Amino acid sequence: MPPKKGKKAAQSKKVEEVKPRETRLTSASKKRGSNRNSVDKIQTPNPQKQEEITAYMKDDIVKKEVNGKSLEDDQKQMEVFISPKKDVHQIGKLHFTQNSTQSKLNTPSQKITAQPNKVESKTLFTPSKVQKKIWKVSLSGFTKQLKEYNKNAIKSLNGEYYENFQPGIDVLIASKALGAKTKLSYDSGVPILNVKWLTDSIAEKCFIEDIKKYLLKPFEGCMLNILGFSQDEYQVIKQSVMDNGGDCINDLNYVQKSSDQQSSKIDMTVINSKNNSTSYLNIIKTPAVDEKWIYQCINRQMFVFPKHYVINKLDLNFNLCQEEYINKKMKESECSQKDCNYFQNCTFYIHTQFLDQQKLKIIKNLINYGGGFYINQLLPCITHIVTPQYTKQDLVEFNQFGNSIFLVHPEFLLEASFIYKKLNELDYQPQLVEQQANSQQIFSQEKVKNDTNGFSSTQQQVIQTISAIANKNRASINNPMGNMFNSQTGNGNLSRMSSFNGNGNPFQGINQQQIALANIPENEEVSEKTEQKQRKLTFKQQKQLVTVKGNLFKNCYFYLEMSQYKDKLKQYKTKIFENQGEILSFIDEKVREIFYILDDKPQSKVIMEKQFQNASFYSYRWIDFCIEKKQIVRNYQDQQLFFLAPFPHSMPLKEFVGLSVYCSGYNPNEKLALKETIKIIGAHYEFASEKRCYLITDDKECKKYRYIQDQQQHLSQEEYEIKWGKLMIVGSFWLLESVTQGKLLDHEPYKL
């Protein structure tokens, strides 16, 4: 065919310059220079040829986006993102093959455009920019309609939605703080957000990465019924609950009627532990807790699941997963390369008294799934005992091998399988029930077969021990059980096998007081070193005689200052031992952390000025506070709980005894600290106008202060003096300075 001439030939020549990708790449590789040089060879486009040059430039962009991947392999399908500058709302994917690329580039009139992804018809919008992170989101507590809407919104933002909770989820969006998924999220450390995070992300057309201001509040979406409090106390509690996302009512009708429709509106009933409202416990269908639970939720800024705080008797029945569920999980585990070993080094004993055969089989499978072991009899190697309930006699049998064994509910195994993590055993303690008539005996018949004179072998060991103590032959080699009591490096196995180790003696006719009296040293006038040794020995003996109630102070070391009140010192030693704490007879520099417990007296200030590298100072009140809150409060200064520190003067202060002191206008932590301090110094925490009363406040906008100011404006001076003349309004520094100086200070310099 003869070559074309004129204008048509020039057009054909320019069209041929827009070559297919493979041809251009081959020719460009033979020349020196970059892709930009090849682009520079193209002359300024004619308006009629704008489409061809646009196609060429876009294909050059495609080459730069690939970042080193081979462009010669046109048989592979590639996906790249193009973000045009003019329309930032268009983000699409191009799927290139060899044939489609050549046909599009060789057709002058065809324009290459980014084809948007095909989304469902319910998609809300197209995201505005590429997400660096693919968010994995789950939902909890929404209605079916809202759940479907939120699910489509998550997918429209290029996020991944998960129907069930599983490890790897980035956030959980919840409408309510109370729920199964929220509990699993707290246990696994997954952030729980409110729905506002999703709505704001929809407005921004991408997921918002800063999630701190969207964290779910402790009482979000929860309704509480507050009973047994005065009107002022109720208003304070209500304000605290509302500030933390919840709502509350004060209505006895919900308790008296107890209909299912009414009970469904109430998530939790809070009862004043010091009031007679406990008479409603038997008819309350919702979980009932005391005011300590509210404080825990606010203090920890999370919904504390109230298992430890429930004071009414709930249904003890429980449901585990279906057998098909755990079988499916075990098959998936066999096919997966990742091993489930969260129960590694755990040995379980299953207490079958309160379990049927089906639940027993599921429990065994849950243990196997987590990589644990279970045995059919009590042995010293046991770490956990699985049972939904237990009796006091069961507890005696469990503790014959020591007090380091955890009692856990079967739900502990189930919820651990959800997040592939061993959870905190203290959150899954079984329930103590009353002794049943047909319950198992403390010791099985097999243990009594070899007994003589009606005593079991363990009973004979105890009797021999007491006889040895009475005869003062405790150090004799022929009596190894006596050596166990006196040797500071005694045989750990013998101590663990003792049936009364840590739980007292369960047998009749063997009194714990006899053991304690028999262990009192004869000579009280001894040297200081000998006294320290005897004190240390006495601590071990006392610890053996105390029933363990928890492990709050496990691996914690205490040094108790010799209190002038011997009964008080003995009482707090028992509390420490009951929670598996250790008491030192001297400040050991090798111990990493020592809790130095001091009395309220002037000498405490001198001791606190000494520099102990590994010791921190607390009052005896701090031990009670930690046991009450079920956690060790180390940074009480940061939480403004200054009443936990030892005061520099003996308490109570005589000048404050009988006075009425009240505080208003403070946050919960500040109010708690002031209220407890008022009680410690001997005053009554009450607001009384008929007698001498101090109102402590630093906020002139608080209700109490404004009410008194209104009374002053509306009443005559004579009427005001009669009603409020004995009331003195002072700032909080008045109380703190009075405690520091140990006397009642004049209120005039601290008047508000």
Q: Give per-residue pLDDT as tens, 682-725.
A: 999 988 777 788 999 988 888 888 888 888 888 887 887 877 87
Would you say 557 and 530 are in contact if contact means Cβ atoms under 8 Å apart? no
* 210 & 227 share domain: no
Q: Domain of residue 152: give its range.
A: 136-214
Is the confidence at residue 641, as pLDDT, over 70? Answer: yes
* 627 & 528 share domain: yes
Give the pTM. Answer: 0.39
Would you say 687 and 704 are in contact if contact means Cβ atoms under 8 Å apart? yes
Q: Which residues contact 256 (CB under 8 A, 6 or more apart)?
A: 280, 283
* 189 & 162 share domain: yes
For 474-520, give the DSSP string. TT-TT-HHHHHHH-TT--HHHHHH-TTTTT---STT--HHHHHHHTS
Is the confidence at residue 9, as pLDDT, over 80? Answer: no
Is 130 a domain residue?
no
Is the confidence at residue 215, as pLDDT, over 80? Answer: yes
Q: Region 538-551: what's the mean pLDDT? A: 68
CA distance 125 to 202: 8
Task: Supply the CATH number for residue 706's domain.
Answer: 3.40.50.10190
Q: Which of 77-81, 333-337, 492-496 has the lowest mean pLDDT?
A: 492-496
Is the confidence at residue 19, as pLDDT, over 80? Answer: no
Would you say 82 and 96 are in contact if contact means Cβ atoms under 8 Å apart? no
Q: What does the pLDDT read at residue 678?
A: 92
* 682 & 547 share domain: no
Percent of the chain at pLDDT above 70?
A: 57
Torsion of CA 221, 222, 226, 232, to 10 degrees: -30
Is 129 a domain residue?
no
CA distance 224 to 286: 10
Is 447 a domain residue?
no
* 577 & 704 share domain: no
Q: Domain ends where: 189, 214, 239?
A: 214
Is 123 a domain residue?
no
Token pair for 119: 């989304």
What's the pLDDT band for 488 if we cut at 50, 70, 90? very low
Pairing assessment for the beta strands 347-350 and 373-375 based on DSSP bridges: parallel
Q: Which of 29-43, 317-331, 529-543, 642-656 has the lowest mean pLDDT?
A: 29-43
Is the confidence at residue 84, as pLDDT, over 70? Answer: no
Q: Domain ends where: 625, 644, 663?
A: 644
Nearest to 60 by CA among 90, 10, 21, 14: 21
Would you say 385 and 363 are in contact if contact means Cβ atoms under 8 Å apart? no
Q: Which of 172-176, 361-365, 609-613 has the lowest mean pLDDT?
A: 609-613
Q: What's phi and psi for 149, nearest 5 deg?
A: -65, -45
Pairing assessment for the beta strands 171-174 and 136-140 based on DSSP bridges: parallel
CA distance 565 to 352: 47
Q: What does the pLDDT read at residue 607?
A: 67
Q: Which residues contact 444 (CB under 8 A, 6 or more apart)?
A: none
Q: Which residue has the higher pLDDT, 368 or 7?
A: 368
Q: What does the pLDDT read at residue 677?
A: 92
Is 470 a domain residue?
yes
Token pair for 643: 């009443």
* 629 & 503 share domain: yes
Is the confidence at residue 427, as pLDDT, over 50? Answer: yes
Q: Domain ends where: 644, 673, 705?
A: 644
* 386 & 501 share domain: no
Q: Which residue has the higher pLDDT, 386 or 606?
A: 386
Whether a cis peptide bond, with omega within 30° of 0, leads into 668 is no
Q: What does the pLDDT read at residue 286?
A: 72
* 18 & 69 share domain: yes
Q: Region 646-660: what's the mean pLDDT? A: 88
Is 178 a domain residue?
yes
The letter for the amino acid at 703 is K
* 616 & 730 share domain: no
Q: Chain-wide mean pLDDT for the chain?
A: 68
Would you say 655 and 743 are in contact if contact means Cβ atoms under 8 Å apart? yes
| Sign of the alpha-carbon dihedral angle for 529, 533, 536, 538 | negative
Is 58 a domain residue?
yes
Which tens digits make up the pLDDT trace of 438-466?
A: 434 333 333 333 333 333 444 444 434 43
Beta strands in 599-692 (DSSP E): 615-619, 660-663, 684-685
CA distance 387 to 409: 5
Alpha helix (H) ranges present in 275-391? 291-300, 323-335, 357-369
Q: What does the pLDDT read at residue 71?
A: 41
CA distance 701 to 705: 7
Q: What does the pLDDT read at residue 86?
A: 38
Q: Which of 55-64, 209-218, 394-403, 544-553 has the lowest mean pLDDT?
A: 55-64
Q: What's phi and psi for 615, nearest 5 deg?
A: -120, 140
* 493 & 640 share domain: yes
What's the pLDDT band for 609 if we cut at 50, 70, 90? low
Q: What's phi and psi for 181, nearest 5 deg?
A: -65, -40
* 495 & 586 share domain: yes
* 204 & 259 share domain: no
Number of domains the chain contains: 6
What's the pLDDT band for 282 if we cut at 50, 70, 90? low
Is 437 a domain residue?
no
Helix or strand run (H / E) with residue 308: none
| Sign of the alpha-carbon dihedral angle for 311, 312, 317, 319 | negative
